[in-house]
Amino acid sequence: MPPLIAFAGALGGLAVVRWAYRTAMRVNRELEEARLARLAEAAKSNDIPTLRRDPNTGAYRPG
C-alpha cells in the first residue's frame, strides 16, 4: 500500500506542476498582449500634436 500512495502522490505532484506551468504561461501571454496593446496605443498618441507656447500671447497652442 505505501508504494501506491507514493506513486499517487508523485502523479498528483506532477499534475500540480503541469497546471502551474500552464497557468504561468497563460498569464505571461496575456501580460505580453496587454503590453503590446499599450505600446500600440502610445504610438497612436504620438500623432496628437503637442502644445507649444506662443511667445507673443503666452498662450499654449498646438504645433
What pLDDT is stored for residue 34 in this prediction? 94
The domain total for the chain is 1
The alpha-helical segments, DSSP class H, found in the chain are 2-45
- In the chain, which residues have pLDDT < 50? none
Instruction: Give the domain extent around 36.
Output: 13-41
**Cβ-contact 61, 51 below 8 angstroms:** yes
What pLDDT is stored for residue 24 in this prediction? 98
Considering the domain boundaries, does residue 49 fall inside one? no
Q: How far is CA 20 from CA 9, 11, 15, 27, in A?
A: 16, 14, 9, 10
What pLDDT is stored for residue 58 in this prediction? 86
Considering the domain boundaries, does residue 18 fall inside one? yes
CA gap 9, 53 in Å, rounded:
70
Question: Containing H/E element for 63?
Answer: none
Considering the domain boundaries, does residue 54 fall inside one? no
* pTM exceeds 0.75, yes or no: no
Considering the domain boundaries, does residue 20 fall inside one? yes
Hey, is 57 helix, strand or coil?
Answer: coil
